[in-house]
Structure 1
Amino acid sequence: MGLHDTFKALSDPLRRQILMILREGERSAGDIASELNITPAALSYHLNLLKKADLLMEYKQKNYIYYQLNTTLFDELVMWLKQFGGEESEK
């Protein structure tokens, strides 16, 4: 996926909330839905968009699917954004 998909995924406040929850560590879909007070179907829609943008990774453990941030993509995004900032003064 390209930057367009990443920024599109980040444009939604609910998806940003999901990322903030996952910043604290991995969570199951049920935990995320409960915390945000949304239906599993609505959460699934948002999780799929975040996964397609490579912002999330998932893994299965027994009957649960756990989600976590793809920190590699965030590192790449920060590096890309830094090219637009001014240079810091060196002391």
Structure 2
Amino acid sequence: MNDALGSYGVSCGSNGTLTRKGTNVGTCTVAVATCTGEAASVRCVSVTINYAYDDHPLLPVPGVGLILPDRLRYTAVARVVRCSAGPHRAVGATVATTAARPP
């Protein structure tokens, strides 16, 4: 996750804090659980990032904040299966992105 965020100067700490240039800009979580409706050997890994975009814009261009949301939330889920004779492998993934601007 930090490899993907690093180009923006953003990183996820082990305590779930998303930081940019040493400032708290949101939260990040990684959760591993059995996938709903699957055998116990099938796991789902969920990564969720909540970024306070309005307070910490990545594009410091005047006026852009008027059309972009206050907060960005991104969730990716990968379904992982352990092969009986080898390592884990991802067999599918879903991604959901939401943006919110309070009324």
After TM superposition, the score normalised by the length of structure 2 is: 0.24
Structure with max Cα Rg: 2
After TM superposition, the score normalised by the length of structure 1 is: 0.26
Structure number with the bigger relative contact order (C-alpha 8 A, sep ≥ 6) is 1
